[in-house]
Structure 1
Amino acid sequence: MKPPLIGVEEELLLVSTDGHPLPRNKAVLEDLGDELDVALELTRAQVEINTPVCATADELSGHLNDMRSALAAAAAEEGGRLLAIAVPPHGRPAQLVTLKPRYQEMAARYGQLAREQGVCGCHVHVDVPDKDAALSVCNHLRPWLPVLLALTANSPVYLDQDTGFASWRWIMWSRWPCSGPPPYLESSEHYDALVAMHLAAGTLMDEQMVYWDIRPSTHLPTVEVRVSDVPLTTDETVLLATLARALVMTALADGGGGPRVDSEVLRAAYWLAARDGVTAGAVDARTAEELSMAELLERLQREVAPALTELDAVDLVRDGIERALRDGNGAVRQRRAFREGADFVALTQVQP
């Protein structure tokens, strides 16, 4: 049986030459034309890349590089810059909401929460056989979601301040009523009942607002891993997508309902991942054991070793993790530039 196909959505930020959010996403997409699958996002300073379905890491890398470059060129035509950064570096908390009926309704219902959500994530879609398989995969991946967050954290500086967190985006995103890690999902009926409760209560507009860090897609035969900041580089996005793919393959091979982990242990693991990224300690959500993030990343590689071998991606993942630990991920590199008084915004700029 062939490995599952994958696709990636990257949200990217439009800024002016001085680094403030640039509310020109509609004009940028018009300049780009219809050659690429790029969409408007919640605020007018955001755009979203949607890659084609991919079978290999190389294929995914090529699409990401081409799409980022084309978007950066379109942003330049509008006098702006395209940033691979997860929160606005300068400006005000509230952003202009995109003039699209759905987003305008969100602004009306959720107020400041919607207006302050100019944050950029990365979502990895991995093919699964059906909804029941997707829910089982969600359960299997829950303990590993904080590790993926730590590895790709890319939002330490928000509105000219070092927040003290490697992923401030995740902290901000956690304010939505149906966000963070999903609960342990007993069955399709359990999932449907939870969604129905949210809809009846009015906490969600529709099922698309199930913003858990992993969820069954509402419109594709995939499971969607949504925990990550948008990574600084396409290499980091490919690393994330490969690990997500390998975790899904491992879960499908294992079957069953997945491990039950204590919600408070998982909460602690998330909080540490969001604060420290790859630079400090961690909690293994499966065992409640304290250890370094480097050790936990080694455990992750062992967990998915057979899948990585099948994907011919052992070296890709090992080298990518070693590079993140040695040179730093986006959060480390941004914070270093910020503290040294360097142009940390330029560090995140995508080149045409």
Structure 2
Amino acid sequence: MASLSIDQRDRLHRNDLRAYTVGVEEEFVLIDPATGRPCLTSTTVAEAETDSELQLELSRCQIETCTPVCASIDAVHREVRRARVAIVDAAARTGSRPLAVGVPIWGPPAGSITDTPRYRRMADRFGALADQVTCGCHVHVCVPDRDLAVQVSNHLRRWLPALLALTANSPIAEGIDTGYASWRRVMWARWPSAGPPPFFRSAAHYDDTVAGLAEDGQILDTAMVYWDVRLSDHLPTIEIRISDVPATVVETTLLASLVRALVITSVTAIGRGHLAVAIGRTHLRSACRNAARYGLSGTRFPTAMAGRRDSRRALAQLLCHVRPALEESGDYEFTRDALATVLASGNGAVRQRGALLAGGPANVIAELSRLTVEGCEADNSQRTR
């Protein structure tokens, strides 16, 4: 680990929790409150909010919030909540409303590509692929050594279907049920660099693979490496990006807690000389597609080469797998209770389908509007269920 400072190397050697800082990015669809349809207001919304970091996305009906670096899951909850409050307020000042949803209930109007040189190049290179609107949640965890980070990536691969099933929040497109809990996953998978990451031997293997994608014209730059787990090209982090944007603040906090604990657990295993299970990409792609199809309702996928689990059993196994890390950080009770609540009450996909049956697309939009700010009125020093 020659690339680490003495302090970083010592912390990782001791598996010091202070080394595993977290950052969360959430993408939102901006809608017209009167019609429920996407509106192309991202630039004006970003200009209206000066206290939070907002990023423009490929479509002008999307916007992304970014938390600062957080040292704890409590801090993640506060910052995700704060960011959602800020984006709701900024959007209201411009006559729009953000929804935490993996794909918009109605498609955006024509000409929605954000007018920047990079996004214009993407539209020119990839055509209609650039017209899709998908909103995810990306969790960064600090792993400053790149060779260690790719080994962590190898360990995380088998848990990707479970994380997708947990956070699925995009069953409805063009006002109808697509039959998928995560339609975003189906849309996103069309990008040539999307999907589960390869099983890497080293950081050099990772970099060679990325260079090959660029040479073949499959990406414009390293920011277009859309694997479900990737190394950041500008931060000392590993980034887990398989999830739909969760419906609520607590679900996003739950995701961040599980991801951070998975990284810590992986580093511990690597330090003990335990190799990751090398699940083939074809098998893993199939498992992720099943997770996208069924979400929490009976998906079957591998959590190890030795067997298969439905999504609920896989999530219980995941919680057991990371329990030591969660107990050490003091996050076990929150994570256990939040997971139990999602399994009992349903994730975004379940709630959207219930709203659709009860009152059609307009009712889905109303429910998503409520869920996006659920808990935001609470004291932000508390994590609430």
Change beyond 3 A, Cα 1:32–1:93: closer
Give the structure 1 partner of residue 196 of structure 2. 181
Give the structure 2 partner of residue 326 of structure 1. 344
After superposition, the CA RMSD in angstroms is 1.5
Give the structure 1 partner of residue 209 of structure 2. 194
Query: Does the CA-based 8 Å contact 2:182-2:349 persist in structure 1?
Result: yes
1:88 aligns with 2:108: no
- 1:244 corresponds, among 259, 274, 280, to 259
- 2:301 corresponds, among 268, 278, 283, to 283
Alignment coverage as a number of residue pairs: 350
**In 2: Cα distance, 1:61 partner to 1:46 partner:** 22
Change beyond 3 A, Cα 1:288–1:175: farther
Pairing of 1:60-139 with structure 2 (within 5 A):
60-92=76-108, 96-116=112-132, 118-139=133-154
**In 2: Cα distance, 1:273 partner to 1:173 partner:** 14
Query: Does the CA-based 8 Å contact 2:196-2:281 persist in structure 1?
Result: no
Secondary structure of 1:304's match? helix
Give the structure 2 partner of residue 32 of structure 1. 49
1:73 maps to a residue whose letter is D
- The more displaced of 174-183 and 85-94 is 85-94
Secondary structure of 1:22's match? coil
2:328 maps to a residue whose letter is E
Displacement of 1:179 in angstroms is 0.8
Q: Structure 2 length normalisation: TM-score?
A: 0.88
Deviation string for 1:147-173 (max 9, x for gaps)?
001001100001111000000101110
**In 2: Cα distance, 1:347 partner to 1:128 partner:** 37
**In 2: Cα distance, 1:300 partner to 1:95 partner:** 42
Query: Does the CA-based 8 Å contact 2:38-2:109 persist in structure 1?
Result: no
Give the structure 2 partner of residue 20 of structure 1. 37
Pairing of 1:261-300 with structure 2 (within 5 A):
261-287=279-305, 289-300=307-318
- The more displaced of 315-324 and 150-159 is 315-324
2:102 maps to a residue whose letter is A
Deviation string for 1:202-241 (max 9, x for gaps)?
1110111110000111100000000000000010000000
**In 2: Cα distance, 1:156 partner to 1:249 partner:** 32
Change beyond 3 A, Cα 1:329–1:92: same
Query: Does the CA-based 8 Å contact 2:61-2:108 persist in structure 1?
Result: no
Secondary structure of 2:301's match? strand
Q: Structure 1 length normalisation: TM-score?
A: 0.96
Displacement of 1:292 in angstroms is 2.4
1:56 aligns with 2:72: yes
Secondary structure of 2:30's match? strand
Percentage identity across paired residues of the two chains: 45
Secondary structure of 1:226's match? strand
1:219 aligns with 2:237: no
Displacement of 1:192 in angstroms is 1.6
Displacement of 1:264 in angstroms is 3.5
**In 2: Cα distance, 1:153 partner to 1:63 partner:** 22
**In 1: Cα distance, 2:36 partner to 2:85 partner:** 18
Change beyond 3 A, Cα 1:346–1:218: same
Displacement of 1:288 in angstroms is 5.5
